[in-house]
Structure 1
């Protein structure tokens, strides 16, 4: 009998592998490691190749593989490489989830949050990428239901699907706060109705250039806001007429004000700002306050 044909007892196998007799016996009962024979008294005997197989089983188990997967590897129903790829992907997902939880806990530790805020933060941070995307897809579907996808206003629906599929592995406190705030917006019925109003109106109206330059409004009305100039004042009129034709009739000014107001909303602008934060883009300067000043000035000087 040579080394390859030598049969050893379970106790000897335990000493060679460093595993307990109890563990080897359990794995043998589960058909993970098979005895090569038995003594006359019925005790299990193993060949020396069992040492290598047990080393492999031990390694796979330490990596977190279940016994059924280990058994399939040993029976060559699947390769170690294939199992490793799947397991590595699962570990990546688990690591990402743990990193998000750690970020949430750090954020909680730095603030004085209510119980409800903490619950919401924890729930949202632990959503899978697929669940996060479904949240925003459901919002877009409900809000833009029935809107012609070829209509100008439908472009908003496509843009509103820009929630990142994956939050950063190490999200900042600002990104966690942005995700919580965005989720609250998406589930707010008044916000949904407001966005739908904008989309439906945009889809019905013909595409035409506004009789003013939005960039000019942002520049002039923004400066007026910073200077504390009231839109209804004489100085407000002068600033307004740097943006629109001074001879524009009052009824047309009111019509422009109404149309502009339809597409001017602080919460909708906040939606885009939150998406920017989550996508790691620099924060854009708010434009709505300047547009609100412009609308008020149009109405105040429509005489």
Structure 2
């Protein structure tokens, strides 16, 4: 009686290979890795239960075909993780890998598309966002310095609305814009400039920064559609809301003198600020809070010109 036709129903490794289409050397490897638990004949040969082992080998083969690691597969076989969980984790990892490849491809095209005399500079620029996640963390750190000591929940809300995450499928232009955005925030003077625009003059006089940002955000939300509609800045409810937020946070009244202080204390014309928000628009394709903020500044400028007598 041969090893392939035992009365106990066990089959040899050769027969298991025929039933599953998996090479003998691979089956031996699975045994060595603990994925398969063979019986042993009196002569020391590996023997397998064809009912359970065939299904087990086919499952391993199919999961390997999807790219799952042997460690993950062992987790599935031991019920430490379900097939659904294992496949979902693999898909997530693949999405991350594909995102990195798309970013890399867009970067390569951006270098190719640059004029010959500018390719070296373009290459140096894109090196700043080689690790796009670290670049994003740098932008978050920039705003953390500007907005300190804002409560974490409000800061997280600001991050979600105003700090562009690296696009999952970027164009070469977006990759370049992101690199330039990182460069802008790397300028030591950028954070103080942005802070002056946000808090306006005398930030130490602000009693409640949370209240101020909430009011300013509401004013920007009202002004946003006007920016999109290319409406010229002009005095109105949007500007009143903006100034009321600043006045209330400082425990002051919205007077002509107060408006003059707001007009000249915000550093609104700093080119770094405009560059930041333009690049953000280029990346997201959406109107930014910065654009609405500048629209309100222009509205304030028109509201106070010609200057009225200051009491």
TM-score category (smaller protein): 0.5 to 0.7
Superposed, 1:89-168 pairs within 5 Å as 89-112=92-115, 113-115=118-120, 117-124=122-129, 126-128=131-133, 131-145=134-148, 158=158, 162-165=162-165, 167-168=166-167
Q: Is 1:278 aligned to 2:280, yes or no?
A: no
TM-score (norm 2): 0.64
- Compared CA separation, residues 9 and 3, structure 1 to 2 (3 A): closer
Q: 5+ unaligned residues in a row in structure 1: which ranges?
A: 208-213, 218-251, 299-303
1:7 and 1:46 in contact (8 A); partners too? yes
1:10 and 1:44 in contact (8 A); partners too? yes
2:13 and 2:27 in contact (8 A); partners too? yes
Q: Tell me the distance in 2 between the aligned counterparts of 1:159 and 1:90.
A: 24
Kindly provide the CA deviation profile for residues 42-82 of structure 1, in whole angstroms up to 9, marking residues without a partner as x. Answer: 01011213222111111212222222221121122221111
Kindly provide the CA deviation profile for residues 131-190 of structure 1, in whole angstroms up to 9, marking residues without a partner as x. Answer: 4442222111223446x78xxxx99x948961223x333322221121011000111102
2:10 and 2:49 in contact (8 A); partners too? yes
- Compared CA separation, residues 73 and 61, structure 1 to 2 (3 A): same
- Compared CA separation, residues 116 and 8, structure 1 to 2 (3 A): farther
Q: Structure 1 residue 85: deviation in Å?
A: 1.4
* Partner-residue secondary structure (3-state), 1:271: helix
Which residue among 45, 60, 82 is the counterpart of 1:43?
A: 45
Aligned length: 242
Moved runs in structure 1, 4+ residues, more than 6 A? 1-4, 255-258, 282-285
Q: Structure 1 residue 115: deviation in Å?
A: 4.1
* Partner-residue secondary structure (3-state), 1:99: helix
Q: Structure 1 residue 5: deviation in Å?
A: 5.5
Superposed, 1:1-303 pairs within 5 Å as 6-35=9-38, 37-49=39-51, 50-112=53-115, 113-115=118-120, 117-124=122-129, 126-128=131-133, 131-145=134-148, 158=158, 162-165=162-165, 167-202=166-201, 203=203, 215=233, 259=264, 262-281=267-286
Q: Structure 1 residue 26: deviation in Å?
A: 0.9
TM-score (norm 1): 0.66
- Compared CA separation, residues 78 and 281, structure 1 to 2 (3 A): same
Q: Structure 1 residue 260: deviation in Å?
A: 6.5
Kindly provide the CA deviation profile for residues 99-128 of structure 1, in whole angstroms up to 9, marking residues without a partner as x. Answer: 121111122221144446425425515423
Q: Structure 1 residue 4: deviation in Å?
A: 11
Larger radius of gyration, structure 1 or 2? Answer: 1
Q: Structure 1 residue 98: deviation in Å?
A: 1.4
- Compared CA separation, residues 83 and 123, structure 1 to 2 (3 A): farther
Q: 5+ unaligned residues in a row in structure 2: which ranges?
A: 207-211, 213-231, 236-256, 306-311
* Partner-residue secondary structure (3-state), 1:65: coil
* Partner-residue secondary structure (3-state), 2:48: strand
2:103 and 2:169 in contact (8 A); partners too? yes
